[in-house]
Structure 1
Amino acid sequence: MTISHSLATRLRSGETVRSAWSTISDPLLLENISALGFDAVTMDMQHGSHTEASICQGIGTIKAAGKPAIVRIPVGRFDIASRALDFGANAVIAPMINSVEDAQAFAAAMKYPPVGERSWGPLRSDISYGQAGSNEYLLTVNQETLSFAMIETRAAYEALDDILAVRGIDGVFVGPADFSIAWSNGREANPLSEDIVVPLTRIAQKAAASNKLAGIYAPNSAFAKRYNALGFRFITLASDRGYLAAGASAMLKAWDE
């Protein structure tokens, strides 16, 4: 299966990809979010309500809208990373990758040999499982499916160079809320903190120097633009709950004017 204009190709060419963030597993809501103007859709299993069943169905919904599907797995559930790829995910974000060992375990689940240890078993109809033509998928998928290791703690930040050097890790992804908690030694959870701008810049720079990708969650459009200027090219913007709140707020404000 040859993937044209893939998420991997777009990001590696320097394009900025703006993704929606889905926390609510309702299929009709996901269908509507997939139809919005985002470049991709990310489904959150860590803090959102998505399950294996909802991501299996949701990946089909997102791809039917012509967009890449990304999954954030729960902490340490690298088995679900492999499952998400079998379901057809274009990328997986793994939270709390705090060491080289964490990164290696994640990469092993994400990549087929000789890079990793992923077991063969793609599920979707566009992947010719065990049939003629399946070798093309096998030979291209390690490059086409992206593994993003989340950098959220001081331990991860200190191990950044070594994490980036792990074969099979395609990029890093920052959760600025958790990173702000770690950076402030537990004094605040503030993704808008000015104190984390310098380390965030260093993360993006080090990723670029390693020929790896840099992604980040942005709580609003202003910070999305700021992060983009720092060198982050994969940016997830707010969340479905935020879109509902923003839309309702704008309508009520217009009513009152």
Structure 2
Amino acid sequence: MIENRMLARMQEGQTALGLGATMPPASHMPVFVARAGFDWAFLDLEHALISPENLGLLCTMLRLQGVTPLVRIASGSLDRVASLLDSGAQGIILPHVETAREAQDLVALCKYAPTGRRSWGGASPQLGYPQKPSAELMSAADATTLAIVMCESRSGVDNIDQIAAVPGLDGVLIGNVDLSLDLGETGAPDGPATTEAILHVGRAVNAAGRHFGIAGAPSPERIRALQGLRIDFLLAGMDHRIFAAALEARAETWRSALGSA
């Protein structure tokens, strides 16, 4: 069966490094992601337009390169979970979660009975189409399918103990920028209120034995400042921002070399 590299890294006590994917899908993208050393890819359906067909192809190509594909759905799109998992995603990320009930709803659709109520769709590409008994495949899928919620508001922070305690939940991902907006620190994801909220959430998630992750951290220094937290997974950036920065840097290098403004 196909390994979940992200999960393996976290279980080894390492921080799994992820890249956000929002640009139009291309066949070479998974190769670049894998060669750069990323462990997982954050396929964003909340803020980007990726067709179901392209998403399935991306998931398959990423898995074949040893990169774990996770899909962030939009709030209110839980009806898409089954088809996304059966198309090859190895986990689902649900944004803007503020209650334990919302986390329970995600787990129910990501896990088979008795933990959840995911419908059986056969030996999907998620596992590499192994020819094994259905019960064995369901058990393997439950062990390697990640159900992750995002904490991005004051309400989510206030309810984090109940959210992190939901049976079957695999992890909590802090949305650093959106959290700072909700806490009134617009444009300051390293502000004091946001920092305190992240520390509170991280400690609760660590204590509950769930995987804790951060998205939207402005710099490695920001992460190092969060002392005492076990950070299991990190979204290192979004492809369009990295691409734009690289293009600008290359253009500036050549303008300077050629002596042009």
How many angstroms apart in 2 are the aligned matches of 1:37 and 1:9? 15
Deviations 1:130-160 (A, max 9, x none): x544432211221211111110111111111
Tell me the distance in 1 between the aligned counterparts of 2:145 and 2:222: 24
**Change in CA separation of 1:246 and 1:224 when aligned onto 2, cut-off 3 Å:** farther
Kindly tell me: are residues 148 and 90 of structure 1, through their superposed partners in 2, closer, same or farther at Cα, counting changes over 3 Å? Answer: same
Secondary structure in 1 matching 2:173: strand
- State the 1:97 CA deviation: 1.1
Please tell me the residue identity of whatever aligns with 1:126: G
Gaps of 5+ in 2: none
What is the rounded CA distance, in whole Å, between the counterparts of 2:9 and 2:30 in structure 1?
23
Corresponding residue for residue 169 of structure 2: 169
Using a 3 Å threshold, how does the CA distance of structure 1 residues 6 and 66 change in structure 2: closer, same or farther? closer
Counterpart in the other structure of 2:206: 208
Tell me the residue number matched to 1:160.
160
Q: What amino acid does structure 2 have at the position aligned with 1:154?
A: R
Cα deviation 1:155-204 (Å, max 9, x = unaligned): 111111111111121110111111111111xx624334343111101211
Q: What secondary structure, in the 3-state scheme, does the structure 1 residue paired with 2:140 have? A: helix
- The alpha carbon displacement at 1:220 in A equals 4.2
In 2, are the aligned partners of 1:22 and 1:43 still within 8 Å (CA)? yes
Residue identity opposite 2:186 in structure 1: E
**How large is the Cα RMSD of the aligned pairs?**
2.2
The aligned residue for residue 220 of structure 2 is: 222
C-alpha change, 1:99 and 1:142, in structure 2 (3 Å) is same
Larger Rg: 2
Contact 2:91 2:148 (8 Å CA) reproduced:
yes
Structure-2-length-normalised TM-score: 0.87
* Match in the other structure for 2:20: 21
Contact 1:110–1:168 (Cα < 8 Å) also in 2: no
Mapped partners of 1:139, 1:228: distance in 2: 36
Q: Helix, strand or coil: the match of 2:204?
A: helix
The CA distance in 1 between the partners of 2:238 and 2:103, in whole Å, is 26
Q: TM-score, normalised by structure 1?
A: 0.88
Letter in 2 for 1:104: Q
- Contact 1:12–1:213 under 8 Å retained in 2: no
Question: Is the Cα contact below 8 Å between 1:8 and 1:143 reproduced in 2?
Answer: no
Does the aligned pair in 2 maintain the 1:34–1:61 contact within 8 Å? no
Judge conservation of contact 1:24–1:48 (CA < 8 Å) in 2: yes
What is the total number of aligned residue pairs between the two structures? 252
Conserved 8 A contact 1:218-1:224: no
User: 1:188: which partner in 2?
Assistant: 186
Name which of structure 1's ranges 108-117 and 58-67 shifts more when overlaid on structure 2. Answer: 58-67
Q: Percent identity?
A: 27
Shift of 1:4: 4.4
Look up the SS of the partner of 1:232 in the other structure.
Answer: coil
1:1-257 correspondence runs (5 A): 1=1, 3-4=2-3, 6-28=5-27, 30-31=29-30, 33-35=32-34, 36-122=36-122, 123-124=124-125, 126-128=128-130, 132-184=132-184, 188-222=186-220, 225-226=223-224, 230-255=229-254, 256=256
- Is the alpha carbon distance of 1:33 and 1:231 closer, same or farther for their aligned partners in structure 2, counting shifts above 3 Å? same
Compared CA separation, residues 79 and 117, structure 1 to 2 (3 A): same
Partner Cα separation in structure 2 for residue 144 and residue 224 of structure 1: 30
